[in-house]
Structure 1
Amino acid sequence: MDPSSPATTRFGRLRAAMSESPPLLWSFVYFFCLLSGYYVLRPVREAMAASSDIEAVFPPALIAFFSNRGIALGEFTLQFIFSAVFLIMLVLQPVYGWLVSRFPRRVFLPVIYGFFIATLLAFYAMFDSGIAGRGLAFILWITVFNLFAVAVFWSFMADVFTNAEAKRYYGYIGAAGTIGAFLGPALTKALVVRVGIPNMMLVSAFLFSVCVMCIFRLRTWAVAREAERRQASGEIPMGGEVLAGLKLIVREPLLRWLAVMVVMGVGVGTLLYNEQNAIARTMFTSAEARADYFATLDLAVNSLTLVVQLLLTRVLLSRFGIAPALLIPGCAIIIGFSILSASPLPMMVAIVQVVTRASEFSLAKPARETIYTRVGREWRYKAGAAIDTVVYRGGDLSFVWLHKLLSAFGSNAVFGAGLLVASAMTFSAWRLLREEAKLPPERATQPGETHA
């Protein structure tokens, strides 16, 4: 291969980045294992959510409760799940706020992942024995895991890397996660039919254990960065109020627009997700077949995400800042929903779903996370987590019921509303950029942990 070829040059830049920033390798391994472990399980979640066997999803007592009141629970599967997830988030948010306020980073990060590993072992036993209602419990668990575990990861990365480093390295770190996300559904496709769903829980538990090892290794660099920038140490409990994250979102314009952008992005994804589930429910009859179908979609999403991360993300963030990375996805989604409004074909729904999720993972998410390198730890660990959990699931809850209403008028009505939501998401991204521009270029101190 020509040493000056683009592929070689990109590989050379990656090797140079590894040399100048040793924690980058451990961040790679951390995010790779985190998303790989999650994506091993994600097709299982989708298969259960789209299951036509209501007794595999809900406990018999819950089915009987709604049946006695004339409600067919199977017709409201997603609405019930999203409502339950939101209520769980409301309960867990103050618990999480208490944990990060009262304990240092070296304690609360391993505790969070240790809890998820322990519950995975419990799910292995539930699925292996075929306990009724296992589907609902697992769907709720993995949805909570995805939001908290990924939110904690990016908050931790903001402890390890400066803003300038984030713009150079977050694209690479995201690509490592995408490779893991690519491996996860590939493992599921290769193994789930042969070994069954319960054993996939053990695969994920092992991968999450590696994440805990990476946390302990990266903690050394986080401490060094904080000392170098004269910031409050993450090895000391940050204190503050349990609900400080939600209060910051209400008070700070930057966080408010970030929350609005996330909610609108959730709305776009939820409308697509519900349409996709309806398609899968009619096309496939078994949980394994649905798991295989959703694994194929995940592979397509992650393939496109990886290409964008390797070719565009680093260039856009390092040369032009976060503006293109936030606005390009919005424009792409507007185009996609415009097409769906006119022609809501199943294949087109799948294509727009792939493009929407890939642009979020490869561009919008890394761009948003670089903002947290320039603000205080309460903004990162409390407000950031609140946006990624309670606010995120509040958006989910709102739009899953909106989809139920709009679906009575057909797919065209769903995607017409989605076009308006996508436009609102793009507008909120523009307003977020105006607030982000008011932040100083780099954080040097941490006065009061309230602003950069």
Structure 2
Amino acid sequence: MLQALVRFRDHNRQTPALLWAFVYFFCLLTGYYLLRPVREAMGADSDVRAVFPAGLVDWFAGRGVSLGDFTLQFLFTCTFILMVLLQPVYGALVSRYARRVFLPVVYGFFIACLLAFHFVFESALPGRGMAFFLWLTVFNLFAVAVFWSFMADVFSNADAKRVYGYIGAAGTLGAMLGPLLTRTLVEAIGIGQLLLVSAGFLIVCLLCILRLRPWAVARELEQNLASGEVPMGGGVLAGLRLVAREPLLRAIAILVFFGVGVGTLLYNEQAAIARAYFTDAASRTAYYAGIDLAVNGLTLLVQLLLTRWLLTRHGIGPALLIPAFAILIGFAALAASPFPLLVAAVQVVTRASEFSLAKPARETVYTRVPREWRYKAGAAIDTVIYRGGDLTFVWLHKALSVLGSGAVFLTGMAVTAGMAFGAWRLVREQSKLPDERPAAGG
């Protein structure tokens, strides 16, 4: 760990942008993980009227459907629909406005939403549970997708392999601090005030964007790359068209789709356990915060001790394939002995390997592709494809659950095989990319 800190200091001297990127991702994930336990507690709440508006519950009840039996399925379906509707809006924003405009607009919008939710929770307005669940899911996907697209503007491919592990570790530290703050503050100040704390961290993110922008401009000039200081143009649905057309982007989409499937199957089992063992929202919130702490502790160790070494010495292959094989072993163990504690352990391994290995490896690929690929196609994969996977597998889990845990986890093994196939395809396709262009006049 001491050697990792020394290497971080040396890399920061060589690449001063690293420190601002570190602070940016730290604050972004601190702000998100402050709120994640609140969302999870709402999704696992057994009181359906605490989650959904009374009119919606009554409408379904009048048709003989208990909405409480389909809480997560309904929420995930609504999230996917919302993602599809927002994708053209995001595409229009990045097409028509320069980077210096749309990055602050995205984060400014989310800060304004937190201020509005502060009023909603303080006033105890009906339907706030469903509204917050949907909003936070959208916030997580869009805000993080924009972050990594911006990092691909700032850092070259060689720099990315050296520093993405450290940037990921910053996010992990933030993801560890967030639940700690939630557990400490939620009962003392309430959920409404907690939202203002999260908004404060997002304001720091805006400052980091302003400080990092000159490095992005300098890299584009040195490498003769398309400038992000002018609108990139193109259609509002160009991202989805690129994913359908380009083999490399299709490989990333396959990897993300089945990777989401693995997580969604586990997530639903975890929600069932929380609903059975914890009877009130506060205890469920504390439970989910504890799971997040375990995930982020393991993630931090891997990011500081293994991620940089794997990416710089062996490329993205091992970082993508190791998580797939580890998860496959975990699902095989769950299929044989589906104990609640083992479900939680596999959940920790699944999420930690995604954050510490698979995600940084995927993001280094975007440093070698055109800006439209990373801002439009990358965002389409991280939103529509991601939530399409959520929607598919949350309903698949509902169908499989009647057959018992064994059927769920055996299916999970097949889904993990699909994830491994996507990783293999991505390794092959990225090897065909040209090396990064030399500096102008070099």
Q: CA deviation at 1:444?
A: 5.4
Q: After superposition, what is the alpha-carbon deviation per residue over 1:407-440, rounded to whole angstroms, capped at 9, x for unaligned?
A: 0101111011001101110111111111111111
* Aligned match of 1:315: 309
Q: After superposition, what is the alpha-carbon deviation per residue over 1:239-275, rounded to whole angstroms, capped at 9, x for unaligned?
A: 0111110000000011111101100000000000000
Distance 1:33 1:159 in 2: 20
* Aligned match of 1:227: 221
Find the partner of 1:407 among 401, 405, 412. Answer: 401
SS at match of 1:235: coil
* Aligned match of 2:425: 431
1:242 aligns with 2:236: yes
Q: After superposition, what is the alpha-carbon deviation per residue over 1:277-301, rounded to whole angstroms, capped at 9, x for unaligned?
A: 0000011111111000000000000
> What residue identity is the alignment partner of 1:83?
T
Written as runs of structure 1 = structure 2, the 5 A alignment for 1:194-233 is 194-233=188-227
Distance 2:160 2:2 in 1: 23
* Aligned match of 1:145: 139
Q: After superposition, what is the alpha-carbon deviation per residue over 1:157-185, rounded to whole angstroms, capped at 9, x for unaligned?
A: 00000000000000000001100000000
Distance 1:14 1:218 in 2: 18
Matched residues, number: 440
> What residue identity is the alignment partner of 2:209?
I
Distance 1:219 1:304 in 2: 32
- 8 Å CA contact 1:327–1:426 kept in 2: the answer is yes
Q: CA deviation at 1:441?
A: 2.0
Find the partner of 1:294 among 285, 288, 291. Answer: 288
Q: CA deviation at 1:129?
A: 1.3
* Aligned match of 1:379: 373
> What residue identity is the alignment partner of 2:293?
L
Distance 2:347 2:166 in 1: 23
Find the partner of 2:24 among 20, 30, 33. Answer: 30
Distance 2:438 2:29 in 1: 32
> What residue identity is the alignment partner of 1:323?
G
CA root-mean-square deviation = 1.0
Q: After superposition, what is the alpha-carbon deviation per residue over 1:10-53, rounded to whole angstroms, capped at 9, x for unaligned?
A: 22211100101111000000000000000000000000000011
1:56 aligns with 2:50: yes
* Aligned match of 2:412: 418
* CA spacing shift, 1:249–1:444, aligned 2, 3 Å: farther
Distance 1:434 1:318 in 2: 17
Distance 1:208 1:336 in 2: 36
Query: So what's the TM-score if we normalise by structure 2?
Result: 0.98
> What residue identity is the alignment partner of 1:103?
Y
Find the partner of 1:96 among 90, 95, 99. Answer: 90
* Aligned match of 1:134: 128
Q: Structure 1 stretches (4+) deviating beyond 4 angstroms? A: 443-446
Find the partner of 2:60 among 58, 62, 66. Answer: 66
- 8 Å CA contact 1:231–1:445 kept in 2: the answer is no
* Aligned match of 1:46: 40
1:168 aligns with 2:162: yes
SS at match of 1:70: coil
Find the partner of 2:388 among 362, 384, 394. Answer: 394
Find the partner of 1:121 among 115, 124, 128. Answer: 115
Written as runs of structure 1 = structure 2, the 5 A alignment for 1:239-278 is 239-278=233-272
> What residue identity is the alignment partner of 2:73?
Q
> What residue identity is the alignment partner of 1:304?
L
Query: So what's the TM-score if we normalise by structure 1?
Result: 0.96
> What residue identity is the alignment partner of 1:441?
D
Distance 1:79 1:13 in 2: 45
- 8 Å CA contact 1:26–1:217 kept in 2: the answer is yes
